[in-house]
Homo-oligomer: A and B are copies of this chain.
Amino acid sequence: MRVDVVAVGTELLLGQIVDTNSSWIGEQLAAHGFDSLLQIKVGDNLGRVESALRRSLADADAVIVCGGLGPTHDDLTREAIAAVMGVQLEIHDDVADRIREMFTARGRYMAENNLRQAMVPVGATVIAQTRGTAPGLICPVRIDGVDKVLYAVPGVPHEMKEMLERAILADLHRRSGEVAVIASRTLRTWGESESGLNERLDPIIAELETLGNPTLAFLASGWEGLKVRLTAKAATAQAAALVLDEWSARVHAVVGQHVFGFDDDTMESVVLQMLRERGLTLALAESVTGGLVAARLTGIAGASDVLRGSIVSYASEVKFDLLDVTRGPVVSESAATEMALGARRVLGGTLGMALTGVAGPTEQDGAPVGTLCIAVVIGDEVHTTTARLPGQREQMRQMSVITALDYLRRILPTANV
């Protein structure tokens, strides 16, 4: 069953509010096995709202329209729905009474225009409001001889979510008679380009295109690496999980060590867990990343089990005086090694890691923009590497964080601890 979404509100088009409602609704629909193939944002204009509703109903089985149910002159959704249904609006006295009561109970004066929220298209049923003043609507409508349905919900997120969960999803299931479940699993990768992954996975992609289920998609997430998302449709949650297990294992086997986690895992949550499992504590020294590595790790509740802290040795003198780095060029694997040893000594901890590099705009110590030197010291072992990252300042700094954490992730399994 296809369920598309129309979000009403000029502020959405002007970028004053980001449309998170459509995203959330789309996520719920997918979790319940409904396809949402088109989502539209339209402003507070009666003609354009009506047109958006008509176009969505032409292709979808059901449409959820979100917003424009308030009391002001900008709130046009009821009128637009009535036009699409070809009916009048009529006042529902019980709804009007409920609205009056809500104001009385809060000791507030009720402006008359609130009663516009008690107007209902003839033939529609009301979804009683619990949180706001506007009720939702379930509006059966016949389009080109086919019975369809239009659901109207308020634009205020917590009001909308409550009505969707309480009334609309159940109504959709009733109408669809379908039993399908849709589930996804995402493999998080770092270290291979999108096109490289695509190439490795070509045989699997070809098989899946023939099978049709599951589907495989690549999602780039900025500097968070590349995700490979498998989406399976099946009769039950268990059956969907089995399909995902099978194909996830096949993709993992092909992509190998570039996979650092699944679903909601982040590079930092994975690395913290690996350190925790091995009883290791981490001391950091950062320069070019200026605290971003520690900031990422401390974003995870429970990081304090593992992370001692970080010395952000931004000024060169701090490297020399506090961390005992040899005076001289500071963008090198040997400087990074001294920084890591210095951090471990100053902060305590069993493992030290340091990053030093050049974010730009100018090169430093003969090292070109984008150079990143990483050192990890564990016991008496010293591991170092140099990476070449893109030259845009913020991009270089953010990618340095993940590159360094990924380097640590790959070293740990074979380190002598």
Q: Which residues of A are in contact with B by a Cβ distance under 8 Å? A: 10-20, 22-28, 30, 36-45, 48, 52, 55, 70-74, 103, 105-114, 131, 155-158, 184, 193-196, 198-199, 205, 217-222, 229, 231, 281, 284, 286, 288-295, 297-299, 301, 303-304, 307-315, 317-318, 321-322, 346-348, 360-361, 370, 388-390, 392-395, 397
B17-A19 in contact (CB<8A): no
Q: Which of B10, B195, B312 contacts A217 (CB under 8 A)?
A: B10
CA A106 to CA B217, docked complex, whole Å: 26
Q: Which 5 A-B pairs have CB atoms at the shortest separation, nearest pair first?
A: A291-B291, A290-B298, A15-B27, A291-B294, A111-B195
Chain B residues in 8 Å Cβ range of A315: 281, 304, 307-309, 347-348
Residue in chain B with minimal CB distance to A109: B196
Residue in chain B with minimal CB distance to A22: B41
A314 touching B318 in the complex, CB below 8 Å, given contacts A199-B111, A219-B11, A301-B393: no
Residue in chain B with minimal CB distance to A103: B193
A194-B70 in contact (CB<8A): yes
Known: A14-B231, A156-B220. 4 other contacts (CB 8 A): A11-B217, A71-B195, A106-B388, A111-B193
Chain B residues in 8 Å Cβ range of A299: 290, 393-394, 397
A310 touching B308 in the complex, CB below 8 Å, given contacts A55-B55, A199-B113, A290-B291: no
CA A178 to CA B317, docked complex, whole Å: 55
CA A32 to CA B381, docked complex, whole Å: 58
CA A110 to CA B110, docked complex, whole Å: 66
**19 A-B interface contacts by CB (under 8 A):** A10-B217, A13-B26, A15-B23, A15-B28, A16-B27, A38-B42, A70-B218, A72-B194, A113-B195, A131-B390, A156-B222, A158-B394, A286-B291, A304-B314, A309-B311, A310-B312, A315-B347, A318-B348, A321-B348
Residue in chain B with minimal CB distance to A130: B392
Q: Which of B19, B301, B361 contacts A19 (CB under 8 A)?
A: B19
CA A295 to CA B400, docked complex, whole Å: 13
B15-A30 in contact (CB<8A): yes
Chain B residues in 8 Å Cβ range of A52: 38
B11-A15 in contact (CB<8A): no
Distance in Å from the Cβ of A193 to the closest Cβ of chain B? 6
Chain B residues in 8 Å Cβ range of A290: 291, 294-295, 297-299, 303, 310
Distance in Å from the Cβ of A70 to the closest Cβ of chain B? 6
A23-B27 in contact (CB<8A): no
A71 touching B198 in the complex, CB below 8 Å, given contacts A156-B222, A294-B312: yes
Residue in chain B with minimal CB distance to A162: B392
